[in-house]
Structure 1
């Protein structure tokens, strides 16, 4: 009787004889499918990298550093509405506050000169 390898050879020969007209069309179809699959895989990879970059960028913006303006610390607050950010002015530490009226006058004069 026939073995497994002989049956496989006979099936391949039968398929080649009966489907000879369809083979070029099948090969083209397989090539197109492979190109589409490759393009989709590349698009998914670039999309994942883009999302990863956006996440890292958002993480970097989540904790902004305070800004120093004219000796005062202004800490930007993180709000849900990014179109109109709010800014809160931090109070001066006790060591930066003038203790007497004379010191306050001197500080006001320095501020006016700047």
Structure 2
């Protein structure tokens, strides 16, 4: 890529990275016309804040949006997405089980 990448180059870069990572085999089949929104919060703002992207994802999924969110424990904030979900009682699942949860609740992590 010389200069600014175009949309096709960016999409190909993302697809290649996901293919190398092996996550494409876990791509859920959504109902016709539905889209899957991916949300990632980075934390690391220099302030000891709590995780807000995960509750925002839960609100969006409750409003009818399919949301997938990667997550981890806190690195610089008070809580990361995994910390938040552990606190509310959610437990880690296999990728196949998480797809079932995503399809039934519209939220997956």
Q: Larger relative contact order (C-alpha < 8 A, sep ≥ 6)? A: 2
Query: Hey, which of these two has a bigger chunk of helix by percent?
Result: 1
State TM-score, norm by structure 1: 0.19
State TM-score, norm by structure 2: 0.19
